[in-house]
Structure 1
């Protein structure tokens, strides 16, 4: 007894309408049924298209369906790259080959729905990884702004030389080194540490400054001193020793 394909197709259409009553739309009935069923990921919201993937699976019965494969196409894809459309059709073809001889539209829709959810999970994971990568790169770039360049002895010496030249410090140092050197008398007159050390010595010996007796005969009368001019020869100043005769 031959199989009545028309009757099998009509019975399947009736069952599909009861299952997908809000997602299914019959497009043609003659010569064969053509209908669409809308599928979407669990997160899909028609009012917020960025929240998931969706598309319409369009089926057209062939004369001897289900002993013959139905025609399947995809319409109105949402957030689906062209590659996804191609991959989904390949996936459905494999399901069709496994179910030849049996009513298969329900199996095809269920399998397509599951496949779409998996692809959306992959998409969200990739999106999250990409967001984390960009955040890491941004934080690294910001950190390097404050990290600066590591200093070595060579880089520091180079920097110091360039800094001193740009600020004029090097020129001042050279100028100071070429200026007149201090004479022995000038060094003595500027060195107050000798006075401080003498006073400290007396205090440690138990003598107060008021009780120190000075032998005035050790010093020449102030009127006998000959004060040299500021322009005295440098060689005389360098030979001058404190306490020596100035005559």
Structure 2
């Protein structure tokens, strides 16, 4: 006859030795305890689940009761998968002490979830990088010309050109047109010869010679000559 109490007591001692930092007794009758399980491959965030087990009278011939007491960074779908895994493993190990086997299965499941999270983050990173590259290509190459966007641009261009011509005509009618030097030169061909005519007219200055006729009759003393030097004259003598 199986001594269920003895088997349960021996397993509790073994579990407390295996998980000294994560094993906690909740009650002694019935025997209930928790084991905290943490992922081994977590990087920036840790995945954790605290499993609570309770022995039934005929354990291990009957499976123990179990639940997820607390957890961190697990989705609802993850906790559902863990509970399904525990149920499956418990049925496969009927007749043998199984808590270590159940905890090990959950440990592997948490590591698998961490790997999935890492893969998902890497995929999201790649998608963002690819999206950034596509945006950069679109900016660099510009928008491809199609019939639709060309006709739209042509319509806007024609409308702007018509508006400019209309405004120019209104300014001309109102006498507000301001021509540039080049435009004045092109429209008034008299400007071509204006500078030449001015120079020719400047050379035809009329001089009244009578103003200088009496200059020879004037007697100027040497003293009145500002350039007169008597010393030079004595040297000549």
TM-score tier by shorter-chain length is: 0.5 to 0.7
The equivalent residue for 2:117 is: 123
Deviations 1:94-127 (A, max 9, x none): 1111100000001111111011101110121012
Partners of 2:32 and 2:156 lie apart in 1 by: 83
User: Is the partner of 2:2 in helix, strand or coil?
Assistant: coil
User: Is the partner of 1:36 in helix, strand or coil?
Assistant: strand
1:151 aligns with 2:179: no
CA contact (8 A) 2:51 2:70 kept: no
Q: TM-score, normalised by structure 2?
A: 0.63
The equivalent residue for 2:85 is: 91
Output aligned runs, 1:65-214, within 5 Å: 65-151=59-145, 159=153, 162-163=156-157, 166-167=160-161, 171=165
CA contact (8 A) 1:44 1:54 kept: no
Deviations 1:142-176 (A, max 9, x none): 4323332223689668746743652469849xx9x
Partners of 1:82 and 1:152 lie apart in 2 by: 49
User: Is the partner of 1:51 in helix, strand or coil?
Assistant: coil
**Shift in alpha-carbon separation, 1:142–1:13, aligned structure 2, 3 A:** same
Partners of 1:155 and 1:64 lie apart in 2 by: 79
Partners of 2:42 and 2:163 lie apart in 1 by: 71
Partners of 2:121 and 2:90 lie apart in 1 by: 32
User: Is the partner of 1:35 in helix, strand or coil?
Assistant: strand
CA contact (8 A) 1:164 1:170 kept: no
User: Is the partner of 1:133 in helix, strand or coil?
Assistant: helix
Segments of 5+ residues of structure 1 without an aligned counterpart are 176-247
**RMSD of aligned Cα (Å):** 2.7
Segments of 5+ residues of structure 2 without an aligned counterpart are 170-237
Partners of 2:84 and 2:100 lie apart in 1 by: 17
CA contact (8 A) 1:69 1:100 kept: yes
1:34 aligns with 2:11: no
Larger Rg: 2
The equivalent residue for 2:13 is: 14
User: Is the partner of 2:7 in helix, strand or coil?
Assistant: helix
Partners of 1:115 and 1:25 lie apart in 2 by: 22
Q: TM-score, normalised by structure 1?
A: 0.60
Partners of 1:140 and 1:57 lie apart in 2 by: 47
